[in-house]
Chain A
Amino acid sequence: MVSNSEKYTEKKVKRSMSQEKRNSIAGYLFVSPFFILFAIFGLFPMLFSFYLAFFKWNGLGEMTFNGINNFTIIFNDPIFWKSIYNTVVIGLLGTVPQLIVAFLLAYALNAQALRFKNTFRVAIFMPYVTSIVAVAILFSIIFNSQSFGLVNSILGVFGVDPIVFTQSEWGAKIAIATMIFWRWVGYNTIIYLAGMQSISSDLYEAAKIDGATLSQQLRYITLPMLKPFILFTVFMGTIGSLQIFTEPLIFFGGNLREEGITVVAYLYRDAFENNFFGTASATAIVLFGIIMIFSVLNLLITNRLGRGKARKA
């Protein structure tokens, strides 16, 4: 017995020595495909954009060095600042209520003894499957500026004058945020649901025996256990909403107006409508900085929130 266990520990030590090395090699090997592919298809385009930010270039002619002028130009453009403001406002409008609703829907879908569970689940996830064309046509009717548009006719019932959505400060933002909400709410519901399903039912059973109410279970079991999923959706939501551009592009049908122009739409307009690649690249760099700041901020905040809750539980 004694010798056996001695052997065992000896073996374990020996193994873990070489194991460390093996883990290292395997680790590098397993993550290398991403970095190799990224080096080929991602790095060069990225460096190229960075380089372009200091040049004037129209895509076809000569490049001319422009120093930090591209940055000066966009910083002096009130519409650039407006686009940042719009992005943040639309992002908040489109994401915060969306995540809350997604959580509620997931919670409802996770209810025990719920019938037609699968049907509901499929239905709610469906918008994620739609193509941009369908979304564009649908929402142009819902948010039509004429009095017959769906939203305007509802407002009409309450005696409100029709809103010209494309030219209204809040109308444009709400319309764009609604498109985002509708398209993504089902997706986040499914993610939360997957998270909820991974919580062991034993935990709830134990809580029930301890006499915990539904809201206590929600607060002390579901929320803390869902932390990685919530963190994930908040993180993705932040990155996603800072990069919104298809929706405003569709909504304005070409002529982007300052009521709803987002940073990426601003960048896209410079690059692909006017071929001002220099300022477009400068905008991309500024946007990259903003995304970094936001991501770090919300990682910090979510971490702290999550930790607080976990401790309580």
Chain B
Amino acid sequence: MKAITPTQPKQLSRKAILYSLLTFAGLVSLFPFYWMFVMATQPNHVINQTPPALLPGSELVTNFTNVLGTIDFFGAMMNSLIVSVSVTVGSLFLCSLAGFAFAKLQFKGRDALFVLILITMMIPPQLGLIPSYYIISQLGWLSDLKAIIVPGLINAFGIFWMRQYIKEAIPDELIEAARLDGCSNFRIYWNVVTPAILPAFATLGIIVFMNVWNDFLWPLVVLQDQSTHTLQVALRALSDSYNRDYGMILSGTFWATVPLIIVFLLFNKAFISSLTQGAVKS
């Protein structure tokens, strides 16, 4: 008893530090979203004010109506959804499959191939734009969502991440045991590996989804027809080169972020429960 009493104030102050650190970090992180919302409710000239406006204005509806009048917002959102979901599901499958092979299967040249994958991550991608475009046009995929989805499945980072995770999370004995039960490698992957790496799926899934949703350099080039535009491409059309209506731009940007936040919040729950599950199991 004596030993515990003096630690209590110490624990309290530790808690205070903990909460204030997290609160501060949370506020710094969230402020831009609030601010984006504020600007999405203001007329254009208010963005030039000093100090900048900190409370929402009255143009919420007007700005978004302007967005809807300029671009096909919901059509673009649908395209974004199709692309992001396809790439996420596809690359989670391909990355975990390859990650499993690299982590747990012995085959000739395995390490060399893995290093090759790491090396592909180091190539600065910006220059490949013209030749990549050329390939897509040869395939007849210009203005086709396939042009985003199929190359999007190449994910060296994802393979790397899955390999690390599978290596750590799944004991070799488990795989050996499954083998003794007569499981094929794919069965092992499907029945043993996948259930055990749900947290990695959740994490990588969030990362891939966000990346695809926010990407614009490549979609911009290959999605020429407006009906195939993803949200980020469509939003670019809001920036008139000569006269920028920031209220409208930020309104579009804000509402394009909302579904992402919703997806994240939904996913985040699964993410957390799978995390705790994974922890309990191991």
Q: Which residues of B contact A (CB under 8 A)?
A: 18, 21-23, 25-30, 32-33, 35-36, 39, 47, 50-52, 94, 97-98, 100-102, 105-108, 110, 113, 117-124, 126-132, 135, 150-151, 153-157, 159-161, 164, 167-169, 179-180, 184-186, 189, 199-200, 203, 206-207, 210, 214, 216, 232, 235, 239, 246, 249-250, 253, 256-257, 260-261, 264-265, 268-269, 272, 275-276, 278-279, 282
Contact = CB atoms under 8 A, between A and B. Distances in A.
Contacts of A111: 18
Contacts of A245: 126
B265 A122 contact: yes
Interface stretch (A88-96, A131-139, A160-168, A305-313): A131-139
Q: Secondary structure at chain B's binding surface: helix, strand, loop or mixed?
A: helix
A129 B179 contact: no
A132 B130 CA distance: 23
B106 A27 contact: yes
Contacts of B22: 105, 108-109, 114, 120, 124
A158 interface: no
Interface string A13-48: 001000110111011111101110110111011101
A270 B110 CA distance: 38
Given A197-B279, A198-B282, A228-B164, A40 B135 contact: yes
Contacts, number: 233
Interface string A43-57: 011101100100000
A148 interface: yes
Interface residues of A, number: 89
Between B185, B250, B269, the greatest number of chain A beta carbons within 10 A of the residue's beta carbon is seen for B185
A280 interface: yes
Interface in A257-313: 264, 267-268, 271-272, 277, 280-281, 284, 287-288, 291-292, 295
Contact of B278 (A19, A34, A38, A198): A198
A220 interface: no
A42 B278 CA distance: 35
A42 B232 contact: no
Contact of B26 (A124, A129, A277): A124
A268 B179 CA distance: 51
In order of increasing CB-CB distance, the 3 nearest A-B pairs are A45-B128, A27-B107, A123-B26
6 contacts: A37-B151, A46-B128, A48-B131, A49-B131, A104-B21, A232-B164
